[in-house]
Amino acid sequence: MSSCVGTNAGATSPAPRPRLCGMSTLDFDHPPREPVAMAKAWLEHATASTGLPNPNAMTLATVDADGGPSARIVLLRGLDENGALFFTNYRSRKGRALGAHPRAALVLHWDVLERQIRIEGSVSRATAEESDGYWASRHRDSQIGAWASQQSEALESREALVQANADFAQRFEGQPVPRPEHWGGFRVALENVEFWEGKPARVHDRIVYTVDGGDWKIQRLSP
Ligand SMILES: Cc1cc2nc3c(=O)[nH]c(=O)nc-3n(C[C@H](O)[C@H](O)[C@H](O)COP(=O)(O)O)c2cc1C
């Protein structure tokens, strides 16, 4: 079993860091048969324990039509056996890249917990109902902002964006802000899910789940 006592296993900072304890321990010698419950447990633990403003922040890596890679942070908004869900502008750089190459890699990293989760798989759009559901939960300012921002496009000035926000606020005054058709969810299928945990003397633990037919192949990897 993994210990809750920290030993600065990553050795990336000079002072020992406490390992925060919880119900999310992964027994790398006896891993569960599937990765979703443990990934959710690590996420919940990070949310409850770290005090991070965005414990659900993750790097999203894509490849564009010319084979060029790019990466950026997005927020994980759903995780289940169907995949990892995030929301964005479909016309953005990432949206266009995913249109050309509908595959992506995700990385969640909690430094203070010495934990990382990597997810790779094919990408599909969320249903309109799912995107509507999440859209409805967003603050009105964020909804207006989604209309005002032509995400990833060059902007003349900050004032131009502020003005666009004001224009859309006026356009939708006194009524609900509808979801733009070009804004919604993407779901990354769980084809590869890897758990990494820092351990003393850099003898870190890694375990990877790979879809194999209808089942999961489970392998321990060298760190
Ligand atoms: C903490 C954090 C959370 C973010 N969450 C999102 C998100 O959920 N969706 C999104 O489209 N952009 C999000 N962004 C902005 C993206 O990192 C990125 O700047 C934007 O999506 C444009 O990326 P692109 O030009 O590669 O498409 C977030 C940025 C940060 C720093």
pLDDT for 11-40, tens place per residue? 444 444 445 555 689 999 999 999 999 999
As a dihedral over the C-alpha atoms of residue 153, residue 159, residue 160, residue 166, rounded to 10 degrees, the angle is 120
CATH number of 36-89+96-132+185-220: 2.30.110.10
pLDDT for 79-117, tens place per residue? 999 999 999 999 999 999 999 999 999 999 999 999 999
Query: Residue 59 Cα, ligand 1 centroid: separation in angstroms?
Result: 9
70 DSSP 8-state letter? E
Residue 7's pLDDT band (cuts 50, 70, 90): very low
**Composition of the chain by helix, strand, coil, percent to 5:** 25, 30, 40
Residue-wise pLDDT tens digits, 43-77: 999 999 999 999 999 999 999 999 999 999 999 99
| Catalytic residue chosen out of the listed positions 19, 93, 138, 202 | 202
Q: Is 202 a catalytic residue?
A: yes
Does the Cβ of 93 fall within 6 Å of ligand 1? yes
Q: Which residues have CB under 8 Å from 97's CB, separation 6+? A: 62, 63, 64, 65, 70
| Residue found under tokens 């991070």 | 52
Instruction: For ligand 1, say whether the CB of 142 is within 6 Å of any of its atoms.
Output: no
**How many Å lie between the centroid of ligand 1 and the Cα of residue 77?**
13
Q: Flag whether the pTM goes above 0.85.
A: yes
- CA–chain centroid gap for 31, Å, is 23
